[in-house]
Amino acid sequence: MESTNRTVVITGAGSGIGRATAHAFADRGANVVAVGRTLETLRETAAGRARIVPLVADIAAEGGPAAVVAGTMERFGRLDVLVNNAGIVRPSPLGQIEATEFDRFMAVNLRAPLLLTQAALPHLEASSGTVVNVSAAVGQRGWPYMSLYGSTKTGLDFLTRTWAVELAPRGIRVAAVAPGPVDTPILENNDFDPDSVAAMHKLREQLPLARAGTAEEIAFWIVTLADPLAAFTTGIVIPLDGGYSAA
């Protein structure tokens, strides 16, 4: 699978799945715009790979999506693949959810990818491009304490299928991956309480494959969905969850 000279925008590229995906695309010859809010972590993502260019932006802020697209076009003059990976996750027990917390989840996990995809449309159309959304296995089944995270990711699944139909006449494909538990810094970098962390580790043990996935395993499928050889694939949400959705 080659991505030579294509330009790929990846949000949430400072760590985890985003970083692994940036590496995977760059190693296949793509130019990668690594988007995130922290320059230091983006520089770590780009280290040793000249094809990765850090772009600091808050995609949930006013003007953030437009700034990402403008920066990409100024640097590379084209946009072939958009990977909507950035997201926030933390437990939200019903009875303890504040309106401001709801608004933040919606802004980052749902509104930002919608507005970024919308801003990128003219350039994706020009290149017959691809959008890959990073959803979550939590949307496939019930998951206690994940009302906000799960509902936003389920919404992203719907957008994936809807955009696939709506944008097909414009030559744009849209697909998604839905990872289950993955070994990333997410547990350490969020305010998960000890009980929630224990529950996450227990879930990993209960998966049919009895382990968490790796960021590189998820990145493989993101790159595959964006590959020109996947040109007959659109509107799908691929569960990458160690069998969680099938058990």
pLDDT tens column, 110-139: 999 999 999 999 999 999 999 999 999 987
CA-wise closest residue to 88 among 116, 107, 69, 65: 107
pLDDT in tens, 141-168: 777 778 899 999 999 999 999 999 999 9
3-state DSSP assignment of residue 54:
strand
Residue 211 pLDDT grade (very low, low, confident, very high; cuts 50, 70, 90): confident
Q: How many domains does the chain have?
A: 1
Q: Is residue 53 part of a domain?
A: yes
Q: Given 25, 76, 105, 149, which residue is catalytic? A: 149
149 is catalytic: yes
Q: Is residue 245 part of a domain?
A: no
CATH number of the domain within which 225 lies:
3.40.50.720
Q: Is residue 243 part of a domain?
A: no
pTM score, two decimals? Answer: 0.93
Q: What range does the domain containing 22 cover? A: 7-238
Q: Is the pLDDT of residue 206 over 90?
A: no
pLDDT of residue 144: 76
pLDDT of residue 186: 62
Q: Is the pLDDT of residue 2 over 80?
A: no
Pairwise CA distance, residues 122 & 127, whole Å: 9
